[in-house]
Amino acid sequence: MSFPWANQYKPTTEFGQWMDDRLPIGRMVYNSLGAGYPTPRNLNYMWNFGSLAGVFLVVQIVTGIILAMHYAANANIAFDSVEHIMRDVNSGWMIRYAHANGASFFFIAIYLHIGRGLYYGSYKAPREMIWLLGVVIYLLAMATAFMGYVLPWGQMSFWGAKVITGLFEAIPVVGKPIQELLLGGFAPDNAALNRFFSLHYLLPFVIAGVIIMHIWALHIPGSSNPTGVNVKGPQDTVPFHPFYTAKDGWFIGLALMFFTALMFFMPNALGHADNYIPANPLSTPAHIVPEWYFWPWYAILRAFTFDFFFIPAKLLGVLAMFSAILVWFFLPWLDQSPVRSGDYRPRFKKFFWFGLIPCVAILGYCGGAPAEEPFVMLGQFAGGYYFAHFLIILPLLSRLEKPEPLPNSITESVTGKPLKQAS
Amino acid sequence: MVRFFGILIGLFFAGMLFYSFGRGAVEYISNPPVETVEHEFHKEAKEVSFKSDGPFGKFDKQQLQRGFQVFKEVCSACHSIRLVSFRNLEELGYNEDEVKAIAANWSIESPSIDPDTGEAATRPPIPADKFPKPFANDVAAGAANNNAIPPDLSLITKAREGGAAYVYSLVSGYSDPPANLPEANRPGTGLHYNPYFANLNLAMAPPLTGTDQVSYSDGTKATVPQMAEDVSAFLIWTAEPSLIKQKQTGWAVLAFLLIATILGFLSYKTIWADVKAEKKKKEA
């Protein structure tokens, strides 16, 4: 579906016409990312991170395929094969550092993309499916990144794998068999490394598939926008190409400059020193921490310090950690406020900027810090707010809050002049 | 229904966590955590700078050669750099013949097999070989070193928090235990006090013992801080041989991206000019 005023694809060459009658691939691109997709004219820069995440997924897939040509997924030589890439493969260091830091940039983009959705209510009707698929992409990305971090087979790789698969052990009855199935044994070893490598190669393509559905679902209602008001006429939109291709284009250049600065001048800033020590099952690192993008969830996992009757603290932590992300699946039904954009929700705005964002930041900080006071305590407070925000505050707020008046149309919000009704 | 169950689950998790926070806070105030002895006496790495630091850094090849000399004459008795090959030394400014000579005269031979019998043997290293390890395996390394296995140094400046500054501080930072150090934290047999080491006592004896322990051919005075700095610089190179190339490539990529981004920005401005003009009218 598209708006009736969308530009129509017209093949300009005879070959183009021939193709269009048989395999209309040009038409598909034209309608999804080209001039045939009318897009709200008022999108701000928060709408740039979806395409940016896509760019970094491509960076990851391309660099990853090259790395896989040189990497050896065997517990005895995995570490040395990574060093072989760093030292002996032509420009191998560039490919590896692009891949390691590209993962961080993918998550930066995806977090800002999710944050934009949360603030502007992009998850609300009729865009629930886009949001749900987005959460699926995020979960797949986390699994992929976690398994990728295991591949260099350094100390953090090994102990990270041990801790994360150990979480499943907390599940009663089926936990232990699940853990053994994941690892292919009782502890991380060659079997685990091999299956992680296989899945690490597979999942990005699954992500790409879900992204296609994500974009497909997006094209049914069209993009949301900062006012949250529906598109009402041709004046409200501009064709995606050239308007947003140009805006995305220069912004991707800017983001790549930050990426370049990180990967060439401080490539290990976001990594952990211990991962340059080969995996050693007999020596536990002083602090086992995952990559930075997992820190908020890791803080929630560690925030449960005592048993609740018959439920052990560890199981509570695991349940809470998974719930913290799974709650996003229910978000479209938890937040029932008819107003989408946070700009027109005075109270929501305060809870978002002074509650949710600082608490996620605190959780992130505590997740990266050693498991000692006062970090555990701060993580408990921030984690408590996190659950309260999504499960208590948002459902109640949608009833109690009086939203500010919405503009009559996107055009009016931009130009101050009422939208001419399309006749 | 979703909201009803949501609120119940929310109350449970948030309640548990706020309650834990309350308990933790009361405990923290009434019974503040005691600073551990390790934490109290442990020192942060010293401030030290290397020519390779910063986005414009360059290796000081003279210093790397001095550092290699310290490694060769001091460290290599116990520590390996198993990921580095002799041929890599050409990057320090040695020519091919010098590298051949360094390899051939290395104090440890490379593992090999006897070409006649096929039995395990050793032979003098050639430039294509990695640096041979001083001990046959970890068990031998432990047995010769009071059960503390000397770590491989190839990646040491990337494998420790603080990097080269930590290595510099550690090898030059031995001291006598302070008088107020509790008995339990004093170095036992075979251990040596070093405030830069996380648990204060380490098995490695002070490797740099005094001025002129090595004699530099370039006339630099071989003081302990000088040797420590040189060997740390050398270990920056072993950990990241392509360090300088990385920085140079980074500048080239940044320059390209800057031009591309400016062009992209200008075309964005041009394309949007008409749409934005409509908005300007509103503000006027």
B120-162 confidence digits (pLDDT tens): 999 999 999 999 999 989 999 999 888 889 999 999 999 999 9
B52: closest chain A residue by CA: A265
Inter-chain residue contact B261 with A253, CB threshold 8 Å: yes
Query: With an 8 Å Cβ cutoff, is A247 touching chain B?
Result: yes
Question: What does the pLDDT look like over A131-164, one tens digit per residue?
Answer: 999 999 999 999 999 999 999 999 999 999 999 9
The residue among A163, A156, A196, A147 whose CA lies nearest residue B158 is A156
| Res A256: pLDDT | 98
Helix axes A155-166, A190-218, angle to 10 degrees: 70
- Contact list in B for residue A303 (CB cut-off 8 A) is 17, 20
Counting other chains too, the contacts that A186-192 makes at CB distance below 8 Å and 24 or more residues apart are A187/A162, A187/A281, A188/A150, A188/A158, A188/A161, A188/A162, A188/A279, A188/A281, A189/A75, A190/A74, A190/A75, A190/A76, A192/A150, A192/A161, A192/A165
Mutate: best of A243, A272, A277, partner B, most B CBs <10 A: A277
Instruction: Place A423 in a pLDDT band, splitting at 50, 70 and 90.
Output: very low
Instruction: Place B282 in a pLDDT band, splitting at 50, 70 and 90.
Output: low
Instruction: Place B281 in a pLDDT band, splitting at 50, 70 and 90.
Output: low
Cα separations in angstroms, A76 against A199, A203, B139: 20, 25, 18
What is the biggest distance separating any 2 CA atoms in chain A, rounded to whole angstroms?
Answer: 76
Which of B33, B83, B250 is facing A373, going by the closest CB pair?
Answer: B33
- Distance, in angstroms, between B282 CA and closest chain A CA? 5
| Res A417: pLDDT | 80
Query: With an 8 Å Cβ cutoff, is A420 touching chain B?
Result: no
- Distance, in angstroms, between A125 CA and closest chain B CA? 16
Q: Which two tokens stand for residue A244?
A: 């947003």
Give catalytic residue positions of A. 219, 223, 247-248, 291
- Contact list in B for residue A388 (CB cut-off 8 A) is 10, 14
CA pair distance B159, B167, nearest whole angstrom: 10
* A 350-379 residues with CB < 8 A to B: 372-374, 376-377
Query: With an 8 Å Cβ cutoff, is A391 touching chain B?
Result: yes
Mutate: best of A272, A391, A412, A420, partner B, most B CBs <10 A: A391
Lowest-confidence segment of A36-40, A344-348, A367-371, B234-238 by average pLDDT: A367-371
Q: Is the pLDDT of residue B237 over 50?
A: yes
Inter-chain residue contact A320 with B198, CB threshold 8 Å: no
Which of A276, A383, A415 is facing B281, going by the closest CB pair?
Answer: A415
Q: What is the 3-state secondary structure (H, E, C) of chain A?
A: CCCCCCCCCCCCCHHHHHHHHHCCHHHHHHHHHCCCCEEECCCCHHHHHHHHHHHHHHHHHHHHHHHHHHCCCCCCCHHHHHHHHHHCCCCHHHHHHHHHHHHHHHHHHHHHHHHHHHHCCCCCCCCHHHHHHHHHHHHHHHHHHHHHHHCCCEHHHHHHHHHHHHHHHHCCCCHHHHHHHHHCCCCCCHHHHHHHHHHHHHHHHHHHHHHHHHHHHHCCCCCCCCCCCCCCCHHHEEEHHHHHHHHHHHHHHHHHHHHHHHHHHCCCCCCCHHHHCECCCCCCCCCCCCCHHHHHHHHHHHHCCCCECCECHHHHHHHHHHHHHHHHHHHHHHCCCCCCCHHHCHHHHHHHHHHHHHHHHHHHHHHHCCCCCCHHHHHHHHHHHHHHHHHHHHHHHHHHCCCCCCCCCHHHHHHCCCCCCCC
Inter-chain residue contact A384 with B271, CB threshold 8 Å: no
Strand, helix or coil at B122? strand
CA pair distance A233, A90, nearest whole angstrom: 55
Which of B33, B250, B271 is facing A242, going by the closest CB pair?
Answer: B271
The CATH homologous superfamily to which domain B39-84+130-241 belongs is Cytochrome c-like domain (1.10.760.10)
Query: With an 8 Å Cβ cutoff, is A25 touching chain B?
Result: no
Inter-chain residue contact A260 with B250, CB threshold 8 Å: yes
Question: What does the pLDDT look like over B16-66, one tens digit per residue?
Answer: 999 999 988 998 888 888 888 888 889 999 999 999 999 999 999 999 999
| Res B38: pLDDT | 82
Q: Is the pLDDT of residue A105 over 80?
A: yes
- Distance, in angstroms, between A199 CA and closest chain B CA? 28
Cα separations in angstroms, A90 against A85, A93, B90: 8, 8, 17
> What's the mean pLDDT in A110-124?
97
Inter-chain residue contact A276 with B281, CB threshold 8 Å: no
Q: Which two tokens stand for residue A206?
A: 């699954």
Which of B16, B260, B264 is facing A316, going by the closest CB pair?
Answer: B16
- Contact list in A for residue B265 (CB cut-off 8 A) is 250, 253
The residue among A178, A112, A102 whose CA lies nearest residue A144 is A102
Q: Is the pLDDT of residue A420 over 90?
A: no
- pTM of the prediction? 0.94
- Distance, in angstroms, between A120 CA and closest chain B CA? 20
Q: Which two tokens stand for residue A323?
A: 């719930």
Size of interface A-B (CB pairs under 8 A): 171
Q: Is the pLDDT of residue A422 over 80?
A: no
Distance of CA B187 to the CA centre of its chain: 25
B155: closest chain A residue by CA: A276
| Res B259: pLDDT | 98
Mean pLDDT of chain B: 92
What is the biggest distance separating any 2 CA atoms in chain B, rounded to whole angstroms?
Answer: 94
| Res B280: pLDDT | 63
> What's the mean pLDDT in A22-37?
93
A236: closest chain B residue by CA: B275
| Res A286: pLDDT | 87
The residue among A181, A59, A55 whose CA lies nearest residue A110 is A55
CA pair distance A324, A386, nearest whole angstrom: 8
A306: closest chain B residue by CA: B20
Mutate: best of A91, A93, A128, A335, partner B, most B CBs <10 A: A93
Question: What does the pLDDT look like over A302-342, one tens digit per residue?
Answer: 999 888 888 888 999 999 999 999 999 999 999 999 999 99
B29: closest chain A residue by CA: A374
Which of A242, A264, A304 is facing B249, going by the closest CB pair?
Answer: A264
Query: With an 8 Å Cβ cutoff, is A249 touching chain B?
Result: yes
The residue among B128, B79, B83, B87 whose CA lies nearest residue B108 is B79
- Distance, in angstroms, between A51 CA and closest chain B CA? 16
CA pair distance A82, A100, nearest whole angstrom: 12
Strand, helix or coil at B181? coil
Give the residue, A371 or A162, on which the prediction is more confident.
A162
| Res A280: pLDDT | 94
- Contact list in B for residue A256 (CB cut-off 8 A) is 257, 261
Q: Is the pLDDT of residue B284 over 60?
A: no
Instruction: Place B84 in a pLDDT band, splitting at 50, 70 and 90.
Output: very high
- Contact list in B for residue A336 (CB cut-off 8 A) is 3
Which of B7, B163, B271 is facing A395, going by the closest CB pair?
Answer: B7
B160: closest chain A residue by CA: A273
What are the residue boundaries of the structural domains of chain B, listed by start?
Answer: 2-33, 39-84+130-241, 247-284
- Provide the terminal-to-terminal Cα distance of chain A, rounded to the nearest Å: 20
Mutate: best of B8, B18, B20, B283, partner A, most A CBs <10 A: B20
| Res B273: pLDDT | 93
In sequence order, what are the beta bridge partners of B130? B85
Q: Is the pLDDT of residue A1 over 60?
A: no
CA pair distance A289, A282, nearest whole angstrom: 18
Cα separations in angstroms, A391 against A333, B1, B198: 10, 12, 43
Question: What does the pLDDT look like over B58-83, one tens digit per residue?
Answer: 999 999 999 999 999 999 999 999 99
- Contact list in B for residue A55 (CB cut-off 8 A) is none
State the CB neighbour count (10 A cutoff) for residue A355. Answer: 17
- Beta strand B120-123 with B110-113 is antiparallel
Inter-chain residue contact B14 with A391, CB threshold 8 Å: yes
Which amino acid is located at A206 in the chain? V
Contacts of A133 (CB under 8 A, 6+ apart): A210, A213, A214, A217
Which of A87, A308, A390 is facing B241, going by the closest CB pair?
Answer: A87
CA pair distance A161, A152, nearest whole angstrom: 12
State the CB neighbour count (10 A cutoff) for residue B176. Answer: 8
Contacts of A166 (CB under 8 A, 6+ apart): A179
- Distance, in angstroms, between B7 CA and closest chain A CA? 5
- Contact list in B for residue A249 (CB cut-off 8 A) is 264, 267-268
Mean pLDDT of chain A: 94
A97: closest chain B residue by CA: B246
Which of B258, B261, B267 is facing A246, going by the closest CB pair?
Answer: B267
- Contact list in A for residue B17 (CB cut-off 8 A) is 303-304, 320, 380-381, 383-384, 387
Q: What percent of chain A has pLDDT over 90?
A: 88
Question: What does the pLDDT look like over A254-292, one tens digit per residue?
Answer: 999 999 999 999 999 999 999 999 999 999 998 899 999
